[in-house]
Amino acid sequence: PPGIECTGLAKTYPDGLVAVSPLDVTFAAGKTTAIVGPSGCGKSTLLRMIAGLETPSGGSVDIGGSPPAETLRNAQLSVAFQDPSLLPWRTVRGNIELALTLARRSIVPSDIDQLVELVGLDGFADARPAELSGGMRQRAAIARALATEPRLLLLDEPFGAVDELTRRQLAQDLPRLWEARGTTTLLVTHSVHEAIMLSDRIIALSPRPAEIVADITVDLARP
Ligand code: ADP
Ligand code: ADP
């Protein structure tokens, strides 16, 4: 799987606000890195630039030799953001099927059932987003992001509305899945506990513009 190399990566918004100052950072292939830092420090901007959803004003992102746009086009990259952008007229299953179709992957109903169960939505595969709680919608978005078996997974506070019990279950199950698949994962979170439970490495950013102020290896023996 590809790693991610950010070189001199910077973002100044058109209104002059410097969200990310030139940042050099490498994320190892197949590892999970949690990104923590105060609200507004530039975490989402960084993630969106890596996802190819925001144009850097300086520097570059290299994903195993390719720019983000190509990785996105080849459906090797999935994102799940705070605001789960599910299509409202499609069921949970329908949303996952669409992601698979766009990624040119085959639709295997039993695989979808397994993912829906993993995120604790068994029995809700045929519900539409409006029938689900905010936390359930976030879990559906996580299932959709995992369905295409991306090599790169970018998560921006994906558990914000998820209840504590499910969150704990996900913190157990997701690292196992990522490890089995060799997924390179970046996780933006406000929770240091979550960062420790889910990741191999934690990067702490300073208040805006984002600079790395701590870079910690997590060595947690997972059951
Ligand atoms: P977060 O929860 O990650 O801090 P924000 O609340 O800062 O997210 O931003 C939510 C959305 O609003 C993002 O898509 C971001 O691009 C947009 N946004 C945030 N601040 C501004 C701004 N000053 N001008 C325009 N859009 C903004
Ligand atoms: P974080 O995810 O750490 O909360 P963001 O990356 O969302 O931080 O935002 C970093 C800074 O950039 C904030 O001050 C935010 O208001 C600003 N910002 C985010 N998106 C935009 C935008 N589209 N236009 C202008 N400013 C933005």
Would you state the structure tokens that stand for residue 189, as one six-digit string? 């979170």
ipTM of this predicted complex?
0.75
Q: How far is the CA of 40 from the centre of ligand 2 (A)?
A: 6
- Ligand 1 atom at minimum distance from 44 CA: 3
pLDDT of residue 1: 65
In this prediction, residue 221 has a pLDDT band, given cuts at 50, 70 and 90, of confident
> Can you tell me which atom of ligand 2 is nearest the CA of 39?
4
- Alpha carbon of residue 24 to chain centroid: 20
pTM above 0.80, yes or no: yes
Predicted confidence (pLDDT) per residue in 146-163, tens digit: 999 999 999 999 998 999
Parallel, antiparallel, or unpaired: how do β-strands 212-217 and 201-205 relate? antiparallel
d(CA 36, CA 107): 35
